[in-house]
Structure 1
Amino acid sequence: MPAILLLIGILSSTMGLFLSLPPMKNIDFMPLFRVESLGVCYGGSGNNLPTKQAVVDLYKSNRIGQIRLYYTDEEMLKALRGSNIEVILGLPNDQIQSVTNDVGATNWVNKYVKAYSNVKFKYIAVGNEIHPGDALAGSVLPALQNIQKAISSANLQGQIKVSTAIDTTLLGNSYPPKDGVFSNSATPYIRPIVNFLKENGAPLLANVYPYFAYVNNQQNIGLDYALFTKQGNNEVGYQNLFDALLDSLYAALEKVGAPNVKVVVSESGWPSEGGAGASVQNAGTYYRNLINHVKGGTPKRPNGPIETYLFAMFDENQKQGPEIERHFGLFSPNKSPKYGQLNFS
């Protein structure tokens, strides 16, 4: 090929890649392009975890550009100052009722957001996995609205989006994915929340776990389908369970009048021990394949990447619940990687 034609081809290819990338704001340039679509959740339920500054340093050394925090941990917020790591800041369930009025929401934003102006907040997650029958269900929307008012009063609405994190049990049907719909009990709860997200240009945060779907339905779901190792499509055109679950959420959003609300996968992971299908080999396979997969899209939303937060940074030996809950870490508490060197960037 003549040199000039080769050069034109390279330039055209590079320009096409550049134009296909989402806007990059306030991101330090690194070699090649860096797309901020992959984060890791940090939970501190352990008595053997590294210091907060050591945790932030570990994120940086592994080029993990986003973190999800579940609590208003001021020591962690101090460690994140100037790090350029994008943050989902959790407003935990036990603080929701305190922000269902203007004064409480303003005080919360002043204390945990405005006071850390050099922390790169991206989302505020008001509550995690609250279900329609829970005592807090009626408080989620007022809390969202009041935190939004406080964010707008601080002139941060262009930088920070306010949302809540759900799980896929709110779906009444998830298969085939095109028939995804919120359950009859969940619809009156989720519809006004989704309307709030739509009005404010915010995404829905969703915790998506092929692991639990597989464990609860092993007679119909193959391990290869859950681990991204299935060869070929199934009868409805899906190669993996992650895409099927995510697209069923998109179908459910369409049915409540919100086809343009984006889903951010605020948790997804696989345990390394403690239950059925939980092993170092399976977990390593899941994380490696998930990291590679979310660079693209789903059959229903093919234009990726899929913004996804891996659960979680460390094994947490004091986490409540079944044994598996203490074995979702990508790193051991001594900071050694459990699955070799994963490519987070």
Structure 2
Amino acid sequence: MVFFTVFLMLIGLETTTATASLPLGVCYGRHADNLPPADEVVNLYKTNGIGRMRIYDPDQAILQALRGSNIELVIGVRNEEIQSIANNVSSAADWVQNNILKYSKDVKFRYIAVGNEVDPNMDEASKFVLLAMQNIYATLTSSNLQNQIKVSTAIELNLLGMSYPPSLGSFGPSSIPFITPIVKFLVDTKAPLLANVYTYFSYISDSTDIDLPFALFTSQSVKIRDGSFEYQNLFDATFGAIYVALGKVGGANLEIVLSESGWPSDGGVAATVENAETYYENLIKHVAKGTPARPNQPIETYLFSMFDENKKGPTEIERHFGLFSPNKQIKYQISQLRKSSTSGSSSSYMWREEVMLSFCFSLLFLNYI
């Protein structure tokens, strides 16, 4: 009986630790005039157990605040800077020196995202994304950081020309010349592709064919049967289409990092606190398990966003994606983000494990005396 009790206790500990180590981060957008100072924001990440952060530009105050924090960082190159970095190797070297090397001893850089949602149909910068990635990679290589810090770019779903059914997923004709060489670069450098995926926008753009439960992970039945795969939520179907599309341009085994995903709490159709809380909670649980196309492969995920941003636009809904209000109060009771369940660092889990093992061995000892 004692052996059985010990086994259950150890299994419970293992489950708790595994959940706590889920590769989860939060995007730190700053289109607002009422946000806390950078050092307070970093402290908010730490006290809520959020171990990864994404920023969209190399803000020096944030980088300074991150020193010694142990928070892993995705740092962005502004779309406006891409062309100059692509056309001038010295500009790439200066960018890396000022924003990476200057801080690399005590800031944990994870990825450099060269551009965010660059649209090959609209953005002149699209012609320069790959070359900018190559120049930054070359600069990192000269400092022997190319294996420690990966270079990528963040795409949005409008690059897909076909997404339904997922087995027919493909990039649009105008997107293929843009994405294909980028995928080759990522494969060659063993870096992931960053993808921003919002089931909310898919839902409001086609609420006739996409119902709310399908977008919120709450559907009780299979909605799409596609070959050997069954899809019960829109997120899985979307990722399935991206995987198939990548396979058609040489990236069949490329890892995808979910670099943005969220749900608004106000400002539009189905934008409520209740729906947002449901989405975030279910998303966090779901990415730990993978998707039908890649089961048991957790997806590194960055929730959008840390705060409501009162200067975002053009629509009102863009201002209500925050997990926290600008006064640092959390809006949702999301278990993974509540201090009561996530405030323990890795060292605290080790401490709990040692205490648990000591207790278990005591039970075993008592059983034999």
User: Do these two structures clear the TM 0.5 threshold for a shared fold by scoring above it?
Assistant: yes
- Report deviation, 1:10: 7.7
Q: Distance in 2 between matches of 1:278 and 1:195?
A: 38
Q: Distance in 2 between matches of 1:147 and 1:259?
A: 25
Could you give the per-residue CA deviations for residues 270-312 of structure 1, whole angstroms, max 9, x where no partner exists? Answer: 1111111111111111111111111110000112211110000
- Report deviation, 1:340: 2.5
1:198 is matched with: 187
2:301 is matched with: 308
Contact 2:216 2:233 in 1 (8 A): yes
What is the DSSP-based 3-state SS (H/G/I as helix, E as strand, rest coil) of the residue aligned with 1:332? coil
What is the DSSP-based 3-state SS (H/G/I as helix, E as strand, rest coil) of the residue aligned with 1:110? helix
Could you give the per-residue CA deviations for residues 32-75 of structure 1, whole angstroms, max 9, x where no partner exists? Answer: 35425110000111111111011000000110010000011000
Instruction: Name segments (4+ residues, structure 1) moved above 4 Å.
Output: 3-11
1:299 is matched with: 292
1:89 is matched with: 75
Q: Distance in 2 between matches of 1:191 and 1:341?
A: 38
Query: Is 2:85 the partner of 1:99?
Result: yes
- Equivalent position amino acid for 2:203 in 1: Y
- Equivalent position amino acid for 1:274 in 2: G
Number of aligned positions between the proteins? 330
What is the DSSP-based 3-state SS (H/G/I as helix, E as strand, rest coil) of the residue aligned with 2:224? coil
What is the DSSP-based 3-state SS (H/G/I as helix, E as strand, rest coil) of the residue aligned with 1:265? strand
- Report deviation, 1:180: 0.8
Query: Is 2:235 the partner of 1:242?
Result: yes
Contact 1:206 1:266 in 2 (8 A): yes
User: Tell me, which stretches of 5 or more residues in structure 1 are unaligned?
Assistant: 19-30
Match of 2:325 among 307, 322, 332: 332
Query: Is 2:125 the partner of 1:136?
Result: yes
Q: Distance in 2 between matches of 1:284 and 1:10?
A: 30
Q: Distance in 2 between matches of 1:320 and 1:239?
A: 32
Counterparts in 2 of 1:128 and 1:10: CA distance versus 1, 3 Å: same
Could you give the per-residue CA deviations for residues 5-33 of structure 1, whole angstroms, max 9, x where no partner exists? Answer: 7767987x699x79xxxxxxxxxxxx835
Contact 2:84 2:91 in 1 (8 A): yes
Counterparts in 2 of 1:212 and 1:341: CA distance versus 1, 3 Å: closer
2:201 is matched with: 212
Could you give the per-residue CA deviations for residues 162-221 of structure 1, whole angstroms, max 9, x where no partner exists? Answer: 000000110011111121111111111100000000000000000000000001000000
Query: Is 2:281 the partner of 1:281?
Result: no
Identify which range, 83-92 or 130-139, moves more after superposition.
130-139
Q: Distance in 1 between matches of 2:146 and 2:173?
A: 33
- Report deviation, 1:122: 0.2
Q: Distance in 2 between matches of 1:148 and 1:315?
A: 33
Query: Is 2:46 the partner of 1:60?
Result: yes
1:114 is matched with: 101
- Equivalent position amino acid for 1:75 in 2: A
2:29 is matched with: 43
Q: Distance in 2 between matches of 1:103 and 1:320?
A: 34
- Equivalent position amino acid for 1:172 in 2: G
- Report deviation, 1:343: 1.3
Counterparts in 2 of 1:335 and 1:4: CA distance versus 1, 3 Å: closer
What is the DSSP-based 3-state SS (H/G/I as helix, E as strand, rest coil) of the residue aligned with 1:125? strand
Q: Distance in 2 between matches of 1:8 and 1:309?
A: 34
Contact 1:71 1:91 in 2 (8 A): yes
Q: Distance in 2 between matches of 1:103 and 1:324?
A: 40
Q: Distance in 2 between matches of 1:7 and 1:319?
A: 53
What is the DSSP-based 3-state SS (H/G/I as helix, E as strand, rest coil) of the residue aligned with 2:17? coil
Could you give the per-residue CA deviations for residues 87-134 of structure 1, whole angstroms, max 9, x where no partner exists? Answer: 000001011112112111111000000000210000000000011122
The alignment yields a C-alpha RMSD, in angstroms, of: 1.9
1:25 is matched with: none
1:154 is matched with: 143
Q: Distance in 2 between matches of 1:195 and 1:14?
A: 42
Contact 2:277 2:334 in 1 (8 A): no
- Equivalent position amino acid for 1:302 in 2: P
Counterparts in 2 of 1:51 and 1:8: CA distance versus 1, 3 Å: closer
Counterparts in 2 of 1:55 and 1:241: CA distance versus 1, 3 Å: same
Q: Distance in 2 between matches of 1:10 and 1:254?
A: 43
Contact 1:36 1:66 in 2 (8 A): no
Identity %: 54
